[in-house]
Amino acid sequence: MRDVAAEAGVSFKTVSRVVNREGGVSPDLVERVEKAVAALGYRPDHRARLLRRSSTAPATIGFVWIDIANAFFSSVLRGIEEVADTRDCLVLAGSTEWSPERERRLVDALVERRVGGLIVVSSGAAAETLQSEMQRGTPLVFLDLEPGFDVVDLVRTDHRAGAVKATEHLVGGGHTDIAYFGDNLDIFSASERLIGFQTAMGAAGLQVDDKQVITGSHSGDEWREIIRSFFESSEHHPTAIFTTQNFVTLGAVQALHDLDLRSTIAHVGFDDIDLSEAVTPGVSVIPQFPRQLGRRAAEMLFNRVETDNAEPVRVVVEPPLIERGSGEIRPSR
């Protein structure tokens, strides 16, 4: 900026005025400054600007998510960006890949960059930083997971109700012997879904066999192997399965296809997947609406910027069930 001022033969305050279109600068000076700006390729330094300015509207918001490979969160991010874009706001996104350590570091890094707000898919690892940041007045919205401490704003799917719905659907189709494949139970959404499964099974008077509850954190290909060997090895086959995450569902579809069991074993998944209609039979699912969750969370965030003392908002969306064939297979025995 100093260089631009020298080039144009004015003080740097005048440059500042021109760059920010404050007005009150004579036309020829404006022109001289603009020429100098163009000649030197000058860009204002956003950080210094924010440092000085008693800015109100956030120019950057942060998004901390858990798994970059999962299309669910990509769609969430898309929803967030759509809303942020209308406010000329950038999204600083970082994924933790399930590591509490990384969650702490990421949240710290974002807080240190003084983002105007934060949307977090939090395991609760960064609770301390998040809470002190909340006290500083930074808007904070939690998404998908309950972080395990008192939370102001939160948006998520009703994981438990969705799992109940899926299980009831299978039970209603005549299945009494249902296997469960899902994410690690230290993840809030995963444990909620298992609780939903157990609740619905219990309500139907059915027993849950521990050997038929398989949990863990794996890629789609790993799940494919796990589910294939589950069906290959166990003498006792369930007549239906409930897969409670999109990778698990993808793996299960592949595995059942490999074993030519897709028309025999009933299957409902949590989260929608691509090509769910192109396989035979189609994959029945409890879909989530990640893009809308993202939009909703971002709107809540900006809302909190504007109205400081608003009541806490908790949005918990009950998901529907989409029948496509795989969930409607009757038990063969």
Q: Do 30 and 278 contact (CB within 8 A), yes or no?
A: no
x/- contact string, 14-33, with DNA (CB under 7 A)?
x-xx-xx--xxxx--x----
Residue 314 CA to residue 188 CA, distance in Å, equals 16
Q: Do 138 and 115 contact (CB within 8 A), yes or no?
A: yes
Report what 41 binds from DNA, its own copies, none; CB cut-off 5-8 Å by kind. Answer: its own copies
Q: Taking CB under 8 A as the rule, does residue 50 contact its own copies?
A: yes
DSSP β-bridge partners for residue 155: 143, 315
| Size of residue set near DNA by CB under 7 A | 27
Q: Taking CB under 8 A as the rule, does residue 198 contact its own copies?
A: no
Other Cβ atoms less than 10 A from the Cβ of 213: the count is: 17
Q: Do 179 and 241 contact (CB within 8 A), yes or no?
A: yes
Which C-beta is closer to its own copies: that of 68 or that of 203?
68
Report what 25 binds from DNA, its own copies, none; CB cut-off 5-8 Å by kind. Answer: DNA
The candidate with the shortest Cα–Cα distance to 153, out of 183, 118, 129, is 118
Q: How many CA atoms lie within 13 A of 82 on its CB side?
A: 15
Report what 253 binds from its own copies, DNA, none; CB cut-off 5-8 Å by kind. Answer: its own copies
**Residue of the chain from 9, 280, 306, 332 that contacts its own copies (CB under 8 A):** 280
Report what 19 binds from DNA, its own copies, none; CB cut-off 5-8 Å by kind. Answer: DNA
Q: Closest distance between its own copies and the C-beta of residue 206, in Å?
A: 29
The candidate with the shortest Cα–Cα distance to 155, out of 169, 168, 165, 141, is 141
- Considering only the stretches 10-18, 200-208, 278-286, 316-324, report the one whose residues sit in contact with its own copies under the rule CB under 8 A: 278-286
- Using only C-alpha atoms, the chain has a radius of gyration, in whole angstroms, of 26
- Considering only the stretches 2-10, 66-74, 182-190, 202-210, report the one whose residues sit in contact with its own copies under the rule CB under 8 A: 66-74
Residue 265 CA to residue 147 CA, distance in Å, equals 36
Residue 225 CA to residue 231 CA, distance in Å, equals 10
Map residue 142 onto helix, strand or coil: strand
Q: Closest distance between its own copies and the C-beta of residue 76, in Å?
A: 10
Q: Closest distance between its own copies and the C-beta of residue 40, in Å?
A: 9
How is residue 59 written in tokens? Answer: 């120019």
Residue 21 CA to residue 282 CA, distance in Å, equals 58
Residue 314 CA to residue 300 CA, distance in Å, equals 10
- Considering only the stretches 7-15, 80-88, 141-149, 194-202, report the one whose residues sit in contact with DNA under the rule CB under 7 A: 7-15
Q: Taking CB under 7 A as the rule, does residue 132 contact DNA?
A: no
Residue 140 CA to residue 149 CA, distance in Å, equals 13
Residue 84 CA to residue 78 CA, distance in Å, equals 10
Which C-beta is closer to its own copies: that of 93 or that of 125?
93
Footprint on residues 85-104 left by its own copies (CB under 8 A)? 85, 88, 90-95, 102
Q: Taking CB under 8 A as the rule, does residue 48 contact its own copies?
A: yes
Q: Closest distance between DNA and the C-beta of residue 133, in Å?
A: 13
Residue 329 CA to residue 333 CA, distance in Å, equals 12
Q: Binding residues for DNA, per CB under 7 A?
A: 1-2, 9-14, 16-17, 19-20, 23-26, 29, 42-45, 48-49, 51-54
Q: Binding residues for its own copies, per CB under 8 A?
A: 41, 43-48, 50-51, 60, 68-69, 71, 74-75, 77-78, 81, 85, 88, 90-95, 102, 105-106, 108-114, 129, 132-133, 135-136, 220, 250, 253-254, 257, 273-275, 277-280
